[in-house]
Every structure is written in C-alpha cells, then in structure tokens.
Amino acid sequence: MPSPDPAPAPIRRFHPNRVEYVLPAPILPGGCWTEDRPGATTGHPGVDALLAVPGVAILTLRDDRIRIVRDPAVAWEPILAAVQEILVRHFLPEPEPFRPPAAPDPASAQPA
C-alpha cells in the first residue's frame, strides 16, 4: 500500500511570524483571499480547520499557496504540527478548490 503524500514543507521568508506552504495544485486559481478573524468559517473544511488552529491570526490563499501569520504570543511548534496534519487530511493529494464566501453587504451592517 503506498504511503500518503507528505505535507509540503513550510517556507519561511523574511518574517518571523509568517509561514507559507506550496500545494501540489491550486486551491484558488488566479485569485487571492485573506481572513483575519481566527475561528471564522467559510464552508471549506480545510480552510475552516486552519482558521481554528490556536495561534493562526491571518490566513491567505493565493493560487497554489497558503500563507499563515501567527499570533506572536503563540509558539510555532504547535501551529506547524496542526497545520501539517490539516494539509495532509484536506489538501493532499489535490486540494478541493476554495470558493470565498460572499462578502457581507455593508449597508446591512448599518444600524437602522
């Protein structure tokens, strides 16, 4: 029985609180989406799982990349371990495409 695909290795560049992963296929072809509300839900099980990881402050999806910015008060080790598990479970061997949720209508947020 073949072993499951290993999770992509994290890429850290220039920023101590940011890590990026390159997936084997696009999750958001030609697009970019960012969520800065930890625990927010989107309807995509993998994206929701990443947003639920304690310490994930900002999640950005762009083409075949996932970028995570952590809360500097949380150590990297538990974040990276959780993210690796989520990548294997939800994004490999090929990610399900992500469809960003509709943005709320700003007019509906105004008090009456």
pTM above 0.95, yes or no: no
Burial of 77 per CB tally in 10 Å (0-12, 13-18, 19+): exposed
Enumerate domains of the chain plus CATH numbers: 18-98 (3.30.1370.70)
pLDDT computed for residue 41 by the predictor = 93
CB of 27 closer than 8 Å to CB of 66: yes
Residue 110 has pLDDT above 80, yes or no: no
Describe the strand order of the beta sheet including 18-22 as a list of residue ranges: 18-22, 65-70, 56-63, 28-35
Residues 6+ apart with CB under 8 A from 80: 10, 19
Confidence of residue 38 (pLDDT cuts 50, 70, 90): very high
Tokens of 98: 């992500």
